[in-house]
Structure 1
């Protein structure tokens, strides 16, 4: 209840600031630009000082696991997994089951707060963010995401986002089916759009870009009942036209394969992620050293 109150208050304050002063924050294609549309000169960053001035009051009511930052200071590790499997030790996209289990247990034991994409966007909008944030994501929709990853996540009371290539759903046993995705959604996992056909955006026409995003979103609505507002770029490839199409379709944000801890400076349509490959638990811990 406290968190909902704080978030509502932050959103109201931020909305009043932005719309009263007449500024829009433009973070397209990894650029951090301040664009004035009307009113007095200044920047949204400066206007957010008003939120900072109320920080002490808000923190009196805050959950101990959360803090309130300037939106440009928010950083969130978005982890990128593909397959959780012991089948091929030479394939860097396959994280061994025991390693994944150790990683998730370590995150839980060290009180990291798992975030879905809505939570990430909320943090970048309000500055209200877990002190130990982590967003766990999976690309492609392999069946072991259900049989192994989902099982381990549930056992540790953690959540993750699964980006689905929708043309592969209900196709064969190599990928998850609708029943699996529906169960995962009902248990609190995020189910989002990896497009319908997994084709590099940079090789497509504007019309085809629009179509594969829309087809993926429509299929997720039909099969899983989700309104997907986020995109994972196939092979991490995108361009400015891709972002224009996403905005046209109402997509709120997108993730890349570019390595790094995500921040608003990346741009909401070009969020960085940390690729997870077979590694020791000590190497995994290093990813989070600035949050410990």
Structure 2
């Protein structure tokens, strides 16, 4: 009886996956939402989850170029989400977190080559102070050539674990530092580690941010909450990531549903069945 039950559950999972694929196809064509890609380091030295090689990154940006995607700014995204302001064909927002030096040395030339802009969320206390992070001169050069720079706090602390006073300091001072250095308004925040709660959201509003980005997987639509905007994290590692990138970009809704299903199965103790679900 137990074997039959396990087989039935497995077949049920397979059928559900096919249903999700069908729903995803419908959603992709009729309720797309705007993709916001999330990168970190781009180099050929660090082989970890947050790092893509230059070859991997260029393959992905070239794909966006060949498929007719148009890079947009956070302002364009927010204007669309708030008031439905028209966006260019196949809009996509490319973001990089933390402000690593390789964003200037490696990612920036590739983005220029394919005529894409990007937004970099910088940890302002790390700028000019640590060898692997950007300098203000590099930031200023990129800013003068269309790259947006927004806040990622002063020192990348866990905001929900901090006091109100420390959160205010992290949010306000990082915002002011970029504005003072570049002479441009800073309206957007990326939560360090994607961590936030309602208290953090309230303080972000109080600090004058127009919107804030999480690392919650998904696309953003007109009914999206501006202070919990989704992104599509793009992971690196030991193997080439293009297929995973392609799946995440083109089947965002399906992967989101599969993540939720897997989390539910794990919560219910169905670890063997959850293990059958592949999350790219």
* TM-score, reference length from structure 2: 0.74
Find the residue that maps to 2:196 and give its secondary structure. coil
Match of 2:247 in 1: 286
Tell me if the contact between 1:74 and 1:129 (Cα under 8 Å) persists in the aligned partners: no
- Runs of 4+ aligned structure 1 residues displaced above 6 Å come to none
Shift in CA distance, 204/113, structure 1 to aligned 2, threshold 3 Å? same
> What aligned pairs does 1:130-209 form with structure 2 within 5 A after superposition?
130-209=88-167
Distance 2:32 2:233 in 1: 20
Question: What is the Cα deviation at residue 210 of structure 1?
Answer: 1.1
Stretches of structure 2 that go unaligned for 5 or more consecutive residues are 1-30, 253-280
For 2:176 and 2:247, locate their aligned partners in 1 and report how far apart those are by CA, in whole Å. Answer: 39
Q: Aligned with 1:198: secondary structure?
A: coil
- Does 2:112 align with 1:112? no
Kept in 1, the 8 Å contact 2:235–2:241? The answer is no
Counterpart selection for 2:181 from 223, 228, 242: 223
Check whether the contact 2:38–2:96 (CA below 8 A) recurs between aligned residues.
yes
Structure 2 match to 1:96: 53
Matches within 5 A, 1:1-292: 75-89=33-47, 91-127=48-84, 128-278=86-236, 279-289=240-250
Secondary structure of the structure 1 residue equivalent to 2:87: strand
> What value does the CA root-mean-square deviation take over the aligned residues?
1.8
Q: In 2, distance between residues paired with 1:227 and 1:282?
A: 37
TM-score (norm 1): 0.71
Q: CA deviation at 1:290?
A: 6.4
Shift of 1:208: 1.2
Query: Between Structure 1 and Structure 2, which shows a larger proportion of strand residues?
Result: 1
The match for 1:66 is: none
Q: Deviations over 1:161-196 (max 9, x none)?
A: 000000011113210000000011110011000011
Structure 1 regions of 5+ residues with no counterpart? Answer: 1-72
